C-alpha cells in the first residue's frame, strides 16, 4: 500500500542510488571491498553506510543512506528558522522525518577529482497538523588539477539532467553551488562546482521528486568516465603533496560551513562515523604555502577564486 507514497518512493530511490554508485565504484577497484554497516538510531530510524578504504583507485569512498525520524532538536530547528523556515512547534516539539543518500569519493591519484553528491527529503509536522516538506541536494566536483575536458563533461551531464525539467534550473543551481561551496576565510570555492539546491518545495511534490530522480541518475555518468580516463595516470610526489593540501581545504569547508554536517552533529542520536565519512583518509596543512605563478597549481586556484561557465 505504501509503495505509491512519495516517502516510500524516495526511500527506494536513495537505496537504488546507493547500490548503483557502489557497483560502479567496485567495478573500477575490484581488489577493494566495501564495508557495509547497518545501523539503528534509538530515537527512530537508521541507515546503511558503505565505505571502501585503501583501494588501488580510491583512497576512501563512502556512500550512505539514512532514514531518520523523531523530534527535531532545538538547535536544528534554530538552524532551519535562520534559513527563513516558519516552524510552529506544539509544546516545544516538532516531529520530523529526514531521508537521503550522500557520498564523498576521494581517489588516490591526484589527477582524478574528488566527487560529492547528496539528495535528501525532509518533512516536518507543525502544531496544527500541517506538514512542511522540501527537497535538497546536489552533485559537485573537486579536482586537484584542472582538466577542462573533465569539467565540461561533468557540467554538461548535470545540465542535461536539469534541462529535462526546466531550462532555468541548471544556471540557477550552478550559481547556488558556486555560492554555497565558498570557503569564506580562504576566499575560494571548495571545487569547480556542479549543482546545489535546498528548501525546494515547488511546483509540486511529484515534479520536484522527478527532478531529484533525474539528478541522482546522472551521478554515475557524470563522474565514472572521468575516473576511468585518469585513474592510471602517472603522478609525481609534488602532485601528491598538492592533493593533500587541497584536501585540507575540503576538510575546512566540511567542518566549518557544511549544512548537512552541522545538522547531523546537532541531531540527538546521530551517527558520528557516518557524518564524518566525508573527510579524507589523509590531508595536510602547511604554513604559508603558495604555489609558483603560472604553475598548474596556480591555475586551479584561479578557477576556485573566479568560477567559470563550463557549458557555453
Backbone angles phi, psi at 35, to 5 degrees: -85, 120
Task: Report CA-CA distances (Å) from 189 to 143, 148, 175, 201, 272.
Answer: 11, 17, 12, 27, 25
Nearest alpha-carbon partner for 176 in 164, 202, 158, 153: 158
Give me the long-range contacts of 285-288 (CB less than 8 A, separation at least 24): 285/245, 285/248, 286/245
Nearest alpha-carbon partner for 51 in 223, 278, 219: 278
The DSSP H or E segment spanning 194 is: strand 193-200
User: How far out from the chain centre does Cα 202 lie?
Assistant: 22
Extended strands (E) in 25-130: 35-40, 45-53, 58-71, 95-107, 114-125
Q: What is the DSSP string of 227-276?
A: HHHHTT----HHHHHHHHHHHHHHHHHHHHT-HHHHHHHHSTT--HHHHG
- Rounded CA Rg of the chain: 19
What are the counts of helices (DSSP H) followed by strands (DSSP E) for the chain? 10, 9
Told to judge if 116 belongs to the known catalytic residues of this protein, a careful annotator would answer yes
Instruction: Look up residue 291 and give its DSSP letter.
Output: P
Q: What is the DSSP string of 268-282?
A: TT--HHHHGGGS-S-
Instruction: Look up residue 112 and give its DSSP letter.
Output: S
How far apart are alpha carbons 222 and 215 in whole angstroms? Answer: 10
- Out of 106, 116, 153, 230, the active site residue is 116
Query: What positions carry a catalytic annotation?
Result: 116
Amino acid at each position: 500500500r505504501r509503495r505509491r507514497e512519495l516517502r516510500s518512493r524516495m526511500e527506494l530511490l536513495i537505496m537504488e542510488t546507493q547500490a548503483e554508485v557502489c557497483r560502479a565504484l567496485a567495478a573500477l577497484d575490484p581488489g577493494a571491498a566495501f564495508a557495509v554497516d547497518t545501523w539503528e538510531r534509538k530515537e527512530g530510524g537508521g541507515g546503511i553506510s558503505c565505505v571502501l578504504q585503501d583501494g588501488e583507485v580510491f583512497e576512501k569512498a563512502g556512500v550512505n543512506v539514512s532514514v531518520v525520524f523523531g523530534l527535531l532538536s532545538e538547535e536544528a530547528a534554530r538552524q532551519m528558522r535562520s534559513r527563513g523556515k516558519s516552524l510552529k512547534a506544539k509544546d516545544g516539539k516538532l516531529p520530523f522525518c529526514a531521508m537521503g543518500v550522500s557520498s564523498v569519493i576521494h581517489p588516490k591519484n591526484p589527477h582524478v577529482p574528488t566527487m560529492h553528491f547528496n539528495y535528501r527529503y525532509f518533512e516536518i509536522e507543525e502544531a496544527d497538523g500541517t506538514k512542511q516538506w522540501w527537497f535538497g541536494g546536489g552533485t559537485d566536483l573537486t579536482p586537484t588539477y584542472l582538466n577542462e575536458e573533465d569539467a565540461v563533461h561533468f557540467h554538461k551531464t548535470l545540465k542535461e539532467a536539469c534541462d529535462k525539467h526546466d531550462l532555468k534550473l541548471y544556471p540557477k543551481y550552478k550559481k547556488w553551488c558556486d555560492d554555497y561551496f565558498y570557503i569564506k576565510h580562504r576566499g575560494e570555492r571548495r571545487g569547480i562546482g556542479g549543482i546545489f539546491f535546498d528548501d525546494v518545495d515547488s511546483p509540486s511534490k511529484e515534479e520536484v521528486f522527478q527532478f531529484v530522480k533525474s539528478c541522482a541518475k546522472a551521478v554515475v555518468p557524470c563522474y565514472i568516465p572521468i575516473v576511468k580516463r585518469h585513474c592510471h595516470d602517472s603522478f609525481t610526489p609534488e602532485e601528491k603533496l598538492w592533493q593533500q593540501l587541497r584536501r585540507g581545504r575540503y576538510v575546512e569547508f566540511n567542518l566549518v560551513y557544511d549544512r548537512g554536517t552541522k545538522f547531523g552533529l546537532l541531531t540527538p542520536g546521530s551517527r558520528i562515523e557516518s557524518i564524518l565519512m566525508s573527510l579524507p583518509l589523509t590531508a595536510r596543512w602547511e604554513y604559508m604555502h603558495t604555489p609558483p605563478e603560472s604553475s598548474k597549481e596556480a591555475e586551479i586556484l584561479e578557477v576556485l577564486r573566479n568560477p567559470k561557465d563550463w557549458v557555453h
